[in-house]
């Protein structure tokens, strides 16, 4: 587009001329305080780069994707972004492709290598021929050199940084098995006669390929779990509307929400989400704030009241003043808290890495010593014997069983939990759940049903109970308030026929009134009825106190100008909650309730269930602070919740447990989800965690036991006494037996009593 300087609309500022497409834009520019131009802002504010960090070693930080130099894990972004998600998905797709191709190529290698163990197949059969060995070589080579290439890269990195880990073992074990097999097949004469059978030396292509595929499987499972890490944050970000209605002189203007400035006046219409934090300056409405409080009941908002970005407006319309925008909003703070808590978690593979940090150097040292001793004291040919025995040490130390020890138990344990409706989305959740000593629970939707229900109908003398409820429900059917819905549902449960309403009116934060079947009916708070000239409410108010102490909401009903009775609505406690609390306490856990509900209701629920402690009237940040306090006191904390407001605390706790009946944000923030929303599932999950972690430790013992027995034999300690060297049969049997032991032990979890 070309601009005619003489006729174009323009304005001067700071010695510069600015041109505009319309007079409206020019006036807006002139009315706005002088700030940096977009070009200047771009120059002043350098582009923020995504920082990648290791979940296991948060001190590792860099501005590009890669692997952690200490543990080999793939780095993940500090904050969720579309680009980072694409990168994670690409890595998962690549690793999955490598796994399936590798598995397809490994299967025939394994069959050929193990066929001689089948009765009737001797050493002179085709499966033991050179052709079979060449087929194994051809199939195993792409598995090791392509599918497993990333493990060699990470293993080399671990050596260069002197942070030996699981990938060090994998690279050495797989590499030694493969290289030894290639040399043994191509140059069998290099090896002493004791290592040859009919001129052939044993090969280990199946071991190299199997280890590669099994480790790839573990990586795929890990990446799938970690791909969900940013889901909770993205779900939270989606709560904020993309646009806002800015009130302007020429009418409302729809602008992107990230362009809202502090002080802007914004219009919120029925059904819209509040764009940012602020206060109401015009109009009134009811706002559903379960995102903040966890409570299902809307909160009435009038001039001067605070509103929170991401909450849902009801049927009214209002104008608000923006007071906190961007990351300063409560929603933005929740996002930051969830992100920070998620990054603080350590993956379960840390246990294997700690063991590997000791095991790897020991194996390497033993291999070097073995080579040196055989070169010094061994028989001729010294070099051949030294190489054979040094490599044998590495082969027997191949981490096949070690690679299986953790993922097999996790896979079986997760499957067992799924059968019971306990979904484990993060493997580390099972590791941490074993140590939990304190369970923090939300009230609404976790201990309770989360849906208001009519629980008491208390008419005064002279009124029929069904007619009393029928008139009340007829009036409330015109209201969209959740309490009204509970009354209407209560009438429906009794199959009561409702009447049409005339002259219906609603008073914000007060009640409703109208004419039903020719009778004047009013429902609401005592003050509302008094303003309608209803007297004699004292006895009803006295009755309402007991209802409120039991955690119920009392609504007063007047018919034809006289007090008629009370309707009580409550959020009932789940039928299984009391049993679940007793089970958890029997397991040694203290159960603490954190809720945004009022103190009276919270105390009533806590007393009824026999909880160990209760904190009421707290916001999401307060829940997070309480969880942090408990952890600082040395307690191992799990958090169970179902609402958006619970997401930060779910992430801050060592283990987050979400109700399957709750919000998606809560489920994404948690490591464990109870499909049925039944708290008894937590007790089952704890017992499952304890059984799984015990199983993992047993597997690690099995894995290293065979190494402890096999390494000395591989080193040749028995040769001076019996003339024995480690044969391919012994090495293969030891590795196979260790794997079989680990798998068999892990499968026992399928039948463990929970």
Question: Which range, of 78-92, 226-240, 697-711, averages the lowest pLDDT?
Answer: 78-92
- Report the run of H or E that residue 77 belongs to, with start and end: strand 76-77
pLDDT tier at 731 (50, 70, 90 boundaries)?
A: low
Tokens in use for 723? 């003339």
**How many of the other CB atoms lie within 10 Å of CB of 146?**
14
Q: ∠ CA 104-110-114 to the nearest 5 degrees? A: 160
Query: What mean pLDDT is predicted for residues 708-721?
Result: 80
Residue 92 CB coordination number (10 Å): 18
3-class secondary-structure state, position 534 = coil
Peptide bond into 381 cis (omega under 30): yes
What per-residue confidence (pLDDT) applies to 702? Answer: 76
CA distance 356 to 561: 81
How confident is residue 599, by pLDDT bands cut at 50, 70 and 90? confident
Residue with tokens 């484990």: 424
pLDDT at residue number 46: 41
pLDDT at 78: 65
* pLDDT tens digit sequence for 62-73: 877 777 777 666
pLDDT confidence of residue 44: 38
Average pLDDT, the chain: 78
Nearest to 630 by CA among 615, 642, 645: 615
What pLDDT score was predicted for residue 1?
45
**With bands split at pLDDT 50, 70 and 90, how would you rate the model's confidence at 140?**
very high
How far apart are alpha carbons 270 and 282 in whole angstroms? 14
What does the alpha-carbon distance between residue 559 and residue 513 come to, in Å, rounded to a whole number?
10
Q: What does the pLDDT read at residue 264?
A: 92
Whether 442 is a known active-site residue: answer yes
What is the per-residue pLDDT across 636-690, written as a single tens digit (0 to 9) for each? 999 988 767 677 888 888 888 887 766 566 666 777 888 777 788 899 999 998 9
- pLDDT tens for 678-711 read 788 899 999 998 998 888 888 878 777 777 777 8
With the CA atoms of 487, 515, 563 and 453 taken in that order, what torsion angle do they form, in degrees rounded to the nearest 10? 0
User: How distant, in Å, are the alpha carbons of 36, 244, 253 from that of 261?
Assistant: 15, 11, 14
Whether 167 has a pLDDT exceeding 50, the answer reads: yes
Q: Which of 240-244, 337-341, 386-390, 737-741 has the highest mean pLDDT?
A: 240-244
H/E segment holding residue 432: helix 427-433
Confidence (pLDDT) at 45: 38
How far is the C-alpha of 317 from the C-alpha of 561, rounded, in Å?
32
Residues 6+ apart with CB under 8 A from 669: 232, 338, 342, 646, 647, 648, 650, 651, 656, 658
Q: Which residue has the higher pLDDT, 181 or 272?
A: 272
Query: Can you give the pLDDT at residue 377?
Result: 86
Residue with the larger pLDDT of the pair 598 and 219? 219
Among 442, 571, 646, 678, the one annotated catalytic: 442
Is residue 160 predicted with pLDDT exceeding 70?
A: yes
Mean pLDDT along residues 234-259: 84
pLDDT at site 315: 81
53-62, 109-118, 581-590, 722-731: lowest mean pLDDT where? 722-731
The per-residue pLDDT for range 9-23, each reduced to its tens digit, is: 666 665 566 656 555
Percent of the residues in the chain that have a pLDDT greater than 90, as a whole number: 14
Q: What is the pLDDT of residue 276?
A: 93
In 3D space, the residue among 90, 67, 52 whose CA is nearest the CA of residue 152 turns out to be 67
Least confident of 36-45, 47-56, 86-95: 36-45
User: What is the arithmetic mean of pLDDT over 151-174?
Assistant: 79
What dihedral do alpha carbons 710, 714, 720, 721 form, nearest 10°?
30
Q: Which residue has the higher pLDDT, 220 or 241?
A: 241
* Percentage of the chain modeled with pLDDT above 70: 74
pTM listed for this prediction:
0.58
The confidence score (pLDDT) of residue 623 equals 85
pLDDT value for 47: 43
Bigger pLDDT: 207 or 679?
679
pLDDT of residue 280: 94
User: Is the pLDDT reported for residue 321 higher than 90?
Assistant: yes
Residue among 640, 526, 627, 521 nearest 574 (CA):
640
- The predicted pLDDT at position 100 comes to 94
- Radius of gyration of the CA atoms of the chain, in A: 35
What pairing do the DSSP bridges indicate for beta strands 317-324 and 265-268?
A: antiparallel
Distance CA 451, CA 296 (A): 7
Contact 745, 695 (CB under 8 A): yes
Q: What is the mean pLDDT of residues 619-625?
A: 82
What DSSP element (H or E) covers 238? none
Neighbouring residues of 380: CB distance < 8 A, sequence distance ≥ 6: none
- CA-closest candidate to residue 334, choices 628, 652, 56, 662: 652
Q: State how far the Cα of 351 lies from the Cα of 407, in Å rounded to an integer.
A: 12
3-state SS, residue 657: strand
Q: Is residue 51's pLDDT more than 60?
A: yes
Q: 598: which DSSP letter?
A: -
Whether the per-residue pLDDT at 102 is higher than 90: the answer is: yes
């Amino acid at each position: 587009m070309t601009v005619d300087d003489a006729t174009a609309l323009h304005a001067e500022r700071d010695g510069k001329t600015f041109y505009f497409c319309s007079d409206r834009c020019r006036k807006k520019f002139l009315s706005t305080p002088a700030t940096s131009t977009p070009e200047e802002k771009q120059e002043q504010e350098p582009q923020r780069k995504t920082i990648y960090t290791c979940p296991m070693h948060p001190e590792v930080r860099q501005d590009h994707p890669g692997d952690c130099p200490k543990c080999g894990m793939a780095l993940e972004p500090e904050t969720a972004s579309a680009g980072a998600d694409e990168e994670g998905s690409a890595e998962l797709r690549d690793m999955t492709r490598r796994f399936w191709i590798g598995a397809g190529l490994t299967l025939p290698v394994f069959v050929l290598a193990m066929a001689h163990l089948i009765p009737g197949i001797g050493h002179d059969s085709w499966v033991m021929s050179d052709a079979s060995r060449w087929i194994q070589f051809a199939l195993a080579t792409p598995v090791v050199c392509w599918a497993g290439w990333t493990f060699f890269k990470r293993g080399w990195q671990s050596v260069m940084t002197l942070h030996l880990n699981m990938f060090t073992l994998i690279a050495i074990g797989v590499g030694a098995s493969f290289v030894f097999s290639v040399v043994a097949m191509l140059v069998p004469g290099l090896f002493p006669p004791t290592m040859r059978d009919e001129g052939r030396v044993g090969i280990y292509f199946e071991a190299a390929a199997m280890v590669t595929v099994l480790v790839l499987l573990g990586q795929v499972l890990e990446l799938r779990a970690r791909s969900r890490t940013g889901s909770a944050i993205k779900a939270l970000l989606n709560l904020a509307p993309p646009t806002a209605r800015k009130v302007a002189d020429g009418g409302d203007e729809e602008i992107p929400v990230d362009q809202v400035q502090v002080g802007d006046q914004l219009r919120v219409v029925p059904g819209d989400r509040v764009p940012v934090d602020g206060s109401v300056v015009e109009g009134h409405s009811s706002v559903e704030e379960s995102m903040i409080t966890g409570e299902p009941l809307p909160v009435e908002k009038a001039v001067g009241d605070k509103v929170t970005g991401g909450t849902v407006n009801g049927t009214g319309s209002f104008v608000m003043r923006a007071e906190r925008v961007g990351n300063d909003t409560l929603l933005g703070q929740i996002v930051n808290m969830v992100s920070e808590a998620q990054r603080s978690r350590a993956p379960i593979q840390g246990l294997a890495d700690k063991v590997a940090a000791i095991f790897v150097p020991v194996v390497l040292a033993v291999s070097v010593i073995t080579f040196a001793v055989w070169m010094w004291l061994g028989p001729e040919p010294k070099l051949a014997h030294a190489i054979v025995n040094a490599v044998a040490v590495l082969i027997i130390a191949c981490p096949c069983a070690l690679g299986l020890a953790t993922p097999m138990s996790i896979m079986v344990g997760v499957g067992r939990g799924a059968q019971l409706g306990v979904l484990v989305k993060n493997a580390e959740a099972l590791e941490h759940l074993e140590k939990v000593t304190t369970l923090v629970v939300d009230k609404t939707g976790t201990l309770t049903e989360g849906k208001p229900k009519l629980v008491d109908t208390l008419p005064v003398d002279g009124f029929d109970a069904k007619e009393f409820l029928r008139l009340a429900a007829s009036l409330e059917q015109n209201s969209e308030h959740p309490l009204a819905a509970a009354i209407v549902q209560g009438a429906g449960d009794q199959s009561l026929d409702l009447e049409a309403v005339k002259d219906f009116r609603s008073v914000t934060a007060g009640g409703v009134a109208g004419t039903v079947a020719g009778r004047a009916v009013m429902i609401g708070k005592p003050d509302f009825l008094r303003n309608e000239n209803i007297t004699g409410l004292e006895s009803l108010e006295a009755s309402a106190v007991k209802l409120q102490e039991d955690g119920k909401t009392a609504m007063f009903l007047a018919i034809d100008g006289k007090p008629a009775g009370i309707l009580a609505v409550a959020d009932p406690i789940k039928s299984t909650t009391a049993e679940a609390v007793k089970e958890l306490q029997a397991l040694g856990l203290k159960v603490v309730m954190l809720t945004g509900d009022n103190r009276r209701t919270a105390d009533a629920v806590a007393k009824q269930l026999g909880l160990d402690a209760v904190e009421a009237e707290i916001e999401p940040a307060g829940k997070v602070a309480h969880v942090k306090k408990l952890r600082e006191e040395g307690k191992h904390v799990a958090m169970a919740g179902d609402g958006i407001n619970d997401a930060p605390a779910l992430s801050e706790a060592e283990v987050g447990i979400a109700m399957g009946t709750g919000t998606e944000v809560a489920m994404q923030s948690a490591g464990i989800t109870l499909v049925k929303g039944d708290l008894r599932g937590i007790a089952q999950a704890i017992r499952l965690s304890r059984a799984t972690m015990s199983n993992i430790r047993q597997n690690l013992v099995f894995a290293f036991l065979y190494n402890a027995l096999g390494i000395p034999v591989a080193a040749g300690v028995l040769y001076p006494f019996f003339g024995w060297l480690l044969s391919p049969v012994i090495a293969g049997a030891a590795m196979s037996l260790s794997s079989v032991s680990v798998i068999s032990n892990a499968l026992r979890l399928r039948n463990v009593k929970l």
